[in-house]
């Protein structure tokens, strides 16, 4: 089998998948994407629906040298309410694709999540023992384990919160603040966000260097959602009195888990790539005030 410098993105329509495709195209790389959307006559994507059992005859295109496994059910609520369906996508079919790719000598890049930890400790290290609380976290931890057992040619990258310009909550906050309406962010719900621009660049650089093992990418420290909202108010030059923090317990939203920390120890990737991961506020700037 002849391989070229071609990347396969499983789930190219996802926010992460489409951003990876854009980044790779900017570097003049050949990209093939899979989608569960029906193809049009001008569509170059490969149809692949992970909501059904993977066809045992499926094989990756011959020219592919690396694969990004971006197709996933990422909603914590969706995973909790329908674990059978989400496990089929997030574990069984994802692992099956990884197996078929490793059998063809293809480098596998698997984006994972801080949800494989319980959120009781900040700055979790890549080889800390996983201890998921959520159903989504359990599925990611299981997929990681099975994929890493397949081959040494694997890159697992755990992210905390990835934010892009379409992030609904922050967009909603910004629209309200600009209209001089009050917002009510949580003062006891945290995140360690990284902009999708940084996330994709670092992920692709790890893949390009064929870095193997488990890596972490998150902002250096957690901030509360109220911290983020107050920062937005300052950046938008609106009265900070519009930001009215409240506790999760005082809302009518039921969360499966409210971690004390989401931050991950990114020192290994910083050392290997010679970078410094931006803090949460710089990531918000890069995303919403480019």
CA distance linking residue 88 with residue 234, whole number of Å: 44
Higher pLDDT, 3 or 275: 275
Query: What pLDDT score does 254 carry?
Result: 83
Q: How far is CA 157 from CA 108, 187, 225, 270, in A?
A: 11, 28, 24, 13
Query: What pLDDT score does 1 carry?
Result: 41
What global pTM score does this model have?
0.94
CA distance linking residue 130 with residue 216, whole number of Å: 13
What are the structural domains of the chain? Answer: 6-164+193-218 (3.40.50.720)
DSSP letter for 167, please.
-
Give residue 41's pLDDT band: very low, low, confident or very high (50, 70, 90): very low
Q: pLDDT, tens digit, for every residue of 155-175?
A: 999 999 999 999 999 999 999
Question: Can you spell out the DSSP letters for 16-31?
Answer: HHHHHHHHHHHTT-EE
Q: pLDDT over 90 for what percent of the chain?
A: 90
Cα 230 versus chain centre, distance: 25
Over its C-alpha atoms, the chain yields an Rg (Å, rounded) of: 19
158 with 113: CB under 8 angstroms? yes
């Amino acid at each position: 089998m002849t391989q070229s410098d071609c990347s396969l993105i499983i789930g190219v329509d996802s926010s992460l998948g489409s951003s990876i495709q854009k980044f790779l195209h900017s570097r003049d790389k050949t990209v093939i994407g899979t989608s569960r959307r029906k193809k049009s006559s001008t569509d170059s994507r490969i149809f692949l629906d992970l909501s059904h059992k993977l066809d045992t005859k499926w094989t990756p295109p011959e020219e592919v040298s690396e694969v990004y496994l971006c197709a996933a059910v990422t909603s914590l609520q969706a995973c909790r309410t329908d674990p059978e369906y989400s496990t089929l996508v997030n574990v069984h079919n994802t692992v099956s694709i990884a197996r078929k790719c490793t059998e063809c000598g293809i480098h596998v890049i698997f984006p994972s999540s801080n949800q494989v930890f319980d959120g009781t400790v900040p700055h979790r290290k890549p080889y800390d023992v996983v201890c998921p609380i959520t159903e989504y976290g359990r599925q990611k931890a299981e997929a990681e384990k099975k994929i890493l057992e397949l081959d040494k040619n694997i890159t697992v990258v755990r992210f905390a919160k990835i934010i892009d310009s379409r992030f609904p909550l922050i967009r909603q906050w910004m629209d309200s603040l600009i209209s001089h309406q009050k917002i009510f962010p949580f003062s006891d719900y945290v995140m360690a966000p990284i902009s999708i621009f940084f996330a994709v660049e670092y992920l692709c650089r790890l893949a390009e260097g064929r870095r193997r093992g488990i890596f972490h990418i998150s902002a250096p420290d957690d901030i509360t959602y109220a911290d983020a909202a107050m920062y937005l108010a300052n950046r938008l030059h609106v009265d900070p009195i519009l930001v009215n923090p409240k506790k999760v317990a005082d809302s009518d939203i039921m969360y499966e888990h409210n971690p004390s920390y989401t931050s991950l120890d990114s020192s290994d990737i910083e050392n290997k790539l010679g970078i410094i991961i931006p803090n949460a506020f710089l990531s918000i700037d890069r995303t919403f005030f480019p």
